[in-house]
Amino acid sequence: MINMSKVKILSKGSTNIPWQDKPEGFEGLVWRHTNNPIIGWNPTPSTARVYNSAVVPYEGEFIGIFRADHKDGKARIHVGRSKDGLKWDIEDKEIQWKDEKGNDYQPDYSYDPRVVKIEDTYYIVWCTDFSGAALGLGMTKDFKNFVRLENPFIPFNRNGVLFPRKIHGNYALLSRPSDSGHTPFGDVFLSESPDLVFWGKHRKVMTKGAAGWWQGVKIGAGAVPIETSEGWLMLYHGVSTTCNGFVYSMGAAILDIDNPSKVLYRCKDYILTPEESYETTGFVPNVAFPCATLHDETTGRIAIYYGAADTYLAVAYTNVEELVEYVKNNSVLASGDEKEWR
């Protein structure tokens, strides 16, 4: 299949990503993998639940960095390997971090990792313990040796997503400032760094709310943004509140390619919300939480990895032209989204 789309993916991907065609008669934009969830309860001896996790192409196959809640209830991150992106071999032991001097530098807990390749290095951002939930940052070239860098920010922050390339010479990081609890608020900010040590030039990117109640409580960047001919395609999560807790849905936005603090378009409605039993029931009911995508720039296909009910790992599919055109044609911004807000 040749991509005749007007919307081109510019980020480098891989041609062997998981894929299922859209089911006949399906009217949505994003369709679930038929054998979801791809990872169920107790995937390894130590771990109870593997869910909000990240994947990247690696040496013709795939590497995953998995959020694994152990049977002691504490979250840690683990490496896994897969030939097809669907059947995963996950290490039972968590990632062992060293600092830049080679000393042990192990976090007390780690969760919701995102992974991105920038130039020849893979960077992992996760939520770590810094006497309060904060972003952890580390790097690897081989997924065997892991070097932990300085924490980008002081607490509190749980959702950090790096862009896949420098912008105007600086690394760029999306994140959502939060509080010390379950945080009934949250917007997306952008920060820059010349060296991954010192961060600044912070900008507000996107505000919760906009048109829909599904994103009325808080929003946070999901997968690493995909560079397209229309701007940065950012999958994100939006949270609604109910009498029985939060509901996490999936949305999509398009950010200005040269200044991603400006939102160009943002979907009015969610593109996926918890409906299936593996999304609506589990350790935390009603969560669909995207952390990664794989894409094939030659076809425009995108596979979305999302945590389901803080219990399962699930996959869904879309294609770039359909998604981008939909977001452009069904966009409602929140006040200030369109500007560079410093």
| Beta carbon of residue 177, minimum distance to a second copy (angstroms, whole number) | 5
Neighbours of 121 (CB within 10 A): 12
| Beta carbon of residue 189, minimum distance to a second copy (angstroms, whole number) | 5
- Closest by CA to 187, choosing from 211, 156, 209, is 209
For a second copy, the closer of residues 10 and 197 by Cβ is 197
For a second copy, the closer of residues 9 and 196 by Cβ is 196
- Token reading at 134: 């904060």
For a second copy, the closer of residues 215 and 286 by Cβ is 215
φ and ψ of 339, to 5 deg: -105, 165
Rounded-to-integer distance, Cα 208 and Cα 213, Å: 9
For a second copy, the closer of residues 52 and 178 by Cβ is 178
For a second copy, the closer of residues 55 and 137 by Cβ is 137
Chain CA centroid to CA 64, Å: 12
Chain residues that interact with a second copy, rule: CB under 8 A: 130-132, 150-157, 175, 177-180, 183, 185, 187, 189, 191-195, 197-202, 204, 207, 336, 341-342
| Beta carbon of residue 150, minimum distance to a second copy (angstroms, whole number) | 5
| Beta carbon of residue 21, minimum distance to a second copy (angstroms, whole number) | 41
Rounded-to-integer distance, Cα 201 and Cα 28, Å: 38
| Beta carbon of residue 164, minimum distance to a second copy (angstroms, whole number) | 21
| Beta carbon of residue 337, minimum distance to a second copy (angstroms, whole number) | 11
Beta-bridge mates of residue 77: 67
For a second copy, the closer of residues 187 and 279 by Cβ is 187
SS3 54: strand
- Closest by CA to 233, choosing from 159, 329, 328, 124, is 328
Instruction: Tell the residue number behind the tokens 């976090």, with chain if given.
Output: 107
For a second copy, the closer of residues 47 and 183 by Cβ is 183
| Beta carbon of residue 3, minimum distance to a second copy (angstroms, whole number) | 37
Beta-bridge mates of residue 192: 172, 200
Rounded-to-integer distance, Cα 200 and Cα 193, Å: 6
- Closest by CA to 63, choosing from 97, 90, 96, is 90
Rounded-to-integer distance, Cα 192 and Cα 170, Å: 6
Rounded-to-integer distance, Cα 292 and Cα 297, Å: 16
